[in-house]
Structure 1
């Protein structure tokens, strides 16, 4: 199997190349009309910043959305509009950027996300729900491991990895690994399938029209953790997260429901 081809998404989605600009435009328009604090620094580097979106009333708690991009691309400012659903339900939403490979390793990115969550949790009291897409799905799944010594981990009530990369081993055989620099040791420590089964609810979410490797990745993670897996009809890798814009969508409710 050509794994570069297997993990390529844009080429297999009609109009795939147009999505990044559409996301950026939707996100920018959302920020203009929403109560938010932008570019809050949670670390030392230029990319260690987060945007924090506030509901009009006291927040019920904190949602943290972690973007994807194979740990190589994208940033928080492309996804602001995905805060709409949780905000309408009364939750604050934090969206962090993070340093990218090859400047750092995936392990470093996970450590940055842990710090970002702690920073946001200090600003927004109450329970925490974590959601991330693709590489972001790996990152929020990684947050279930009790190895950060972080007080905020006791506040996490639910994790929803969307189209997650639960097993990093196949990526060692892609051209991306020239920048990811994954090795056997890091695959073992950073692949969610090798982490202890979480003691909190997890719902793995994936689109029915995704590439077969993402369907397989999601199934492997849900089987390993014996957790819920939802296959969203007629959704692909570039629109599977869009229901987060809707306060009443099945995805938003899966994230926020008790």
Structure 2
């Protein structure tokens, strides 16, 4: 099997190359509509990309949903995903979308630390329970934050649920891809930062993946669910790019706050 081809999404999705522009446009429209209750470009650290956007509901927030974006740890930023907050905000939750330093400027182990710093900062900004989620590489990061001592104990006690969406739970295959020229993942780092090789967290986890995704992503999701003895939800007919749409309105949104 050609692993590079196996982990390629755009070429195997009808109109795949059009999705980033579509996301960007929808996200910008949402930010404009929510401008009165949005806190944009807030800092959680000193780095150039240590920023987050926070979207607030009317009235007091029921809690905080943190969405960590994907892009194979080397692409995109928070400005592509704002519209995914619509359902949660309408349901009374605050939604935060942090970004992080991209590879090759940062290794994955450093990106994990940045994601933890973002969540710790946000926990001081919004009271109540916390739900962590993320897509693809962001699915990896949301899962990784659920284990170990990356987050302060007080923050961990507030985590109500973790929902990795189409996550890369096992980083070892990534060491064999051409993109590893950028990611620079070593075997040791893959073992240390792969959720599937770490103890199952004490917080509730549900793994979500599209039924029409590339087989390796279904396998990655299933492996994480199996190793952590967590429920696996397969969204029928959803591929890697539209699987996140159910976060704005649909069964994925319902799961986040179940």
Which of the five TM-score ranges fits, normalised by the shorter chain?
A: over 0.9
- In the alignment, is residue 176 of structure 1 matched against residue 179 of structure 2? yes
- In the alignment, is residue 47 of structure 1 matched against residue 49 of structure 2? yes
Q: Specify the alignment match of 2:139 in structure 1.
A: 137
- In the alignment, is residue 87 of structure 1 matched against residue 115 of structure 2? no
Q: C-alpha separation between the residues in 1 aligned to 2:225 and 2:24?
A: 31
- In the alignment, is residue 208 of structure 1 matched against residue 211 of structure 2? yes
TM-score (structure 2 length as normaliser): 0.97
2:65 pairs, out of 63, 66, 83, with 63
What secondary structure, in the 3-state scheme, does the structure 1 residue paired with 2:48 have? coil
TM-score (structure 1 length as normaliser): 0.97
Q: How far apart are 1:148 and its partner, in Å?
A: 2.1
- For 1:153-172, what aligned pairs fall within 5 Å after superposition? 153-172=156-175
Q: How far apart are 1:141 and its partner, in Å?
A: 0.2
What secondary structure, in the 3-state scheme, does the structure 1 residue paired with 2:243 have? coil
Residue by residue, what CA displacement relative to the aligned partner does 1:134-182 show, whole Å, maximum 9, x if unpaired? 0000000001113225131111110000000000000100001111111
Residue by residue, what CA displacement relative to the aligned partner does 1:101-157 show, whole Å, maximum 9, x if unpaired? 000100101100101011111110111000100000000000111322513111111
Q: C-alpha separation between the residues in 1 aligned to 2:193 and 2:157?
A: 21
Q: Specify the alignment match of 1:108 in structure 2.
A: 110
Give the root-mean-square deviation of aligned CA atoms. 0.8
Q: How far apart are 1:8 and its partner, in Å?
A: 0.4
- In the alignment, is residue 221 of structure 1 matched against residue 224 of structure 2? yes
What secondary structure, in the 3-state scheme, does the structure 1 residue paired with 2:72 have? coil
Q: Which runs of 5+ in 2 are unaligned?
A: none
- In the alignment, is residue 231 of structure 1 matched against residue 234 of structure 2? yes
